[in-house]
Structure 1
Amino acid sequence: MKIVHGMGSNAESKSSQYRLNKRPGNEERKIKVMDACFTAFDKDEDGFLSLSEFELICRALFRNDRGKIYGLEENQLNEIYAVFDTNGDGLIDREEFEVCWNRWIKVCTRPRSAFLIVDVQNDFISGSLNITKCAAQQDGSEVIEPINHLLKTVPFDAVFYSLDWHPVDHVSFVDNLHLRDVDASSSVSKEDAKVYDTVTLAGPPPQKQRLWPRHCVQDSWGAELHKDLVVVSNAVKIYKGTNPEVDSYSVFWDNRKLTETTLFSQLQNKGATDIYICGLAYDVCVGATAVDALASGFRTILIDDCSRGVDLVDIEKTKSTVIGNNGVIVNSSQVRAMVEGRDRRPELGYKLALEIKHSIRSVRKSSQ
């Protein structure tokens, strides 16, 4: 991103020198780059960035690797600007821009990216819950080649594999329904229930449960990652669905939000800003994971051609939910440029600004 075109005025240099004296070493270069950026877009040289000047930054920031500029909606531009105009005077001064630079621009241009491959396991591809037999009739094996290509060619900062890892008496198995009580409010009775139906199990509290064929039983062949899937060194495996009484679609939480996996803490430890999600099944575990990633504050990208699902209508609902919550859906051919910071999407910039806004508000509340 070429957004630096020169140094500043005398007043600006005096302000810069003050900060440089306080921050020795490598910080000097970083301050100079930041100040040069501010100066380049402070077109009227008044020492502030107006909304129109900030819009020029966004036009330089949000573009793809071929130079095409992505449009930013006016209301989103105004909201992002207001996040960094912390004193509400309608201008961004140098101190406010420092926050914008360090917490927003630098993340947009140099994201830290995690790749999460969801449940590419034997049972979903050719075993007991082969998704080709579900309504969408999609072939789960088709995700393996594009996922492998990404693993070999894209410099992700971290790679995670999730695995359904169910005990034999798991609540989701249709042949275990006789072990549970069905609530009187259930639209499907225990006697009539069959695979893929949703029943309401007795509580407390009552819980809806979709019934699946027995699948991904711990230490079974069906629970293993597919043999053709590349498993990179230093990757992390996350096991979910281990509680027999609670199903677990998301790689972050079980379905009742009772127990959290280690994924969130590990992403935080690695400093991840962006999470690329794909795998099986698109409208079940992949979709639930993407929703939780967005709710957890991560810039979230679904990889469309690296995912296959159960039901076409539910797949489209998943896409709409992700897009509606400022996530992005891309093809695997677009991933490398995004990971390397050469293709920068305004949706992800807006999502990050909202998270910064929330963080600033939380700090203010805690200090009151």
Structure 2
Amino acid sequence: MEPICVSPNNIPHDYSNSVEVYESAMREDVNEEDEALNMLNTFDKNRDGVLDFEEFSNLLQHIFQLGPIDMTSEEKLKSFMLLLDLNNDGVIDRTEFQHAWTHCFDKILHPVTALIIVDVQNDFIDGSLALRHCPAQQDGAEVVPVINRLLEEREFDLVVYSMDWHPDTHISFIDNVHMYPLDKGCTKRFDECCTYDEVTFDLSPPRTQVLWPAHCIQDSEGAKLASNLKVSPGAVRIYKGTNPDIDSYSAFFDNMRLSQTSLQEELEKRHVTDVYICGLAYDVCVAATGVDAVGLGYRTVIVNDACRGVMEDKIKEEKEKLQEQGALVLESDEAMKLLANKARPNFDLGCFTAKTMPPFAST
């Protein structure tokens, strides 16, 4: 199909060719500026060169395949429009629409996806820190078939495996607590500390650390990926927690953000817009990775049934925190539908994209 050029003489007042324009906009060989102009002209029903609320709502309803508009959804549409109405005049003009198309709608219509599989390693499944022996008694092995199904049935632009990769002197290990000075305010002595205790070490800068059994020691059997986990060809591996003096829950940064892994660089190289995160442990490394992904502006989906955690109350708390910050928490079936239906994106992820647009720079 050739790209559609909509002129003032053939703008359809009933949006009858909006499907064609939408499909044209999804073509990779269509110029971005033409995409934007086609969409603006198609939904500019009164031909005044701008989109009022009714016209903009029709555009959003078409893109996101929204159902009938009630009071709640109307408020959401108004909130979306306010994010794009840079001069607050109640309409979206051509300049505002072009800016929104480049920094918002283009990401929505042309998502680039990455699956980030967090720490699905032997020690968390049946080794020294097996989740089934943790307070929540969840079985880490249960995530493997769910993740394998995602890899087998959906195509991601990038697959990432993050891995705890600790030296045997790591600060997080309960057996090493005597190796680091405790803060003067700590109420316990070295020999009184227990697994899962949170202590503060008198380092520069001071750092708070949960104490864990030794796990995922570099080059050990326990540090290997689960043997039945599908490893995607061309996948990227991110090694974290390699500094003995600081932990690294997130696949992006260490816990104090003193250093970062190569994950953000890998995502940026491939122009990734959407990250799907799963793995172990939900309330620790998965949650930390999700929070950082949202903070860095990635449209973030946590695949709920492809995660298992340490503590029930903490899992609930971290899940709520992620949702409050803009991440979606979906079951794998829902995530697979979203991945299979890129041409009809999720409205909440679209709102997140609008909120994280860069400011407009006038020339």
Q: TM-score, length-normalised on structure 2?
A: 0.88
Match of 1:92 in 2: 92
What are the equivalent positions in structure 2 for 1:242-281 lying under 5 Å apart? 242-281=242-281
Kept after mapping to 2: 8 A contact 1:281/1:308: yes
Give, in whole Å, the separation in 2 of the partners of 1:70 and 1:309. Answer: 38
Name which of structure 1's ranges 53-62 and 274-283 shifts more when overlaid on structure 2. 53-62
For residues 177-207 of structure 1, the C-alpha deviation after alignment (integer angstroms, 9 at most, x for no partner) is 1111111212433221011111111123322
Q: 1:313 to 1:7 in 2, by over 3 A?
A: same
Tell me whether 1:52 sits opposite 2:54 in the alignment.
yes
RMSD over equivalenced CA pairs, Å: 2.5
| Structure 2 spans left out of the alignment, 5+ residues | 12-27
Paired with 2:269 and 2:275, the residues of 1 have a C-alpha distance of 14
Contact 1:5 1:37 in 2 (8 A): no
Q: Which moved more, 1:143-152 or 1:35-44?
A: 35-44
Q: What amino acid is the match of 1:45?
A: R
Quote the Cα distance in structure 2 between the aligned partners of 1:74 and 1:321: 26
Distance 1:314 1:30 in 2: 44
Alignment of 1:53-72 (within 5 A): 53-63=55-65
For residue 106 of structure 1, report the CA deviation from its aligned partner.
Answer: 2.5
Which amino acid in structure 2 is aligned with residue 54 of structure 1? F
- Matched with 2:6 is 7
Matches within 5 A, 1:115-264: 115-264=115-264
Within 1, Cα distance between the matches of 2:221 and 2:120?
A: 13
Q: Secondary structure at the match of 2:276?
A: strand
SS at 2:279 equivalent: strand
Confirm or deny: 8 A CA contact 1:111 1:339 kept in the other structure: no
TM-aligned CA deviation for residue 60 of structure 1: 1.8
Shift of 1:6: 8.8
Classify the secondary structure of the residue corresponding to 2:160.
strand
Shift of 1:246: 0.0
* Count of residue pairs brought into register by the alignment: 343
Change (3 A) 1:181 1:344: same
TM-score (norm 1): 0.86
Structure 2 SS opposite 1:43: coil
Q: Structure 1: how far apart are the matches of 2:134 and 2:159?
A: 29
- Are 1:161 and 1:237, in contact at CA under 8 Å, matched by a contact in 2? yes
What code does the residue aligned with 1:348 have? L
- Please say which of residues 235-244 and 86-95 is displaced more in the overlay: 86-95
Q: Cα deviation per residue 1:141-189 (whole Å; 9 max; x = unaligned)?
A: 0000010111111111100000000001000000001111111212433
Identity over aligned pairs, percent: 39
Q: Distance in 2 between matches of 1:274 and 1:213?
A: 34
Letter in 2 for 1:176: N
Q: Structure 1 residues 28, 242: closer, same or farther in 2, change over 3 A?
A: closer
Which residue does 1:37 correspond to in 2? 39
Give the match for residue 348 of structure 1. Answer: 349
Per the TM alignment, residue 303 of structure 1 is displaced from its structure 2 partner at its CA by 0.1
Amino acid at match of 1:327: A
Q: Structure 1: where are the runs of 5+ without partners?
A: 13-25
SS at match of 2:318: helix
Paired amino acid for 1:168: D
CA drift at 1:103: 2.5
Deviation at 1:258, TM superposition (A): 0.5
What secondary structure, in the 3-state scheme, does the structure 2 residue paired with 1:304 have?
A: strand
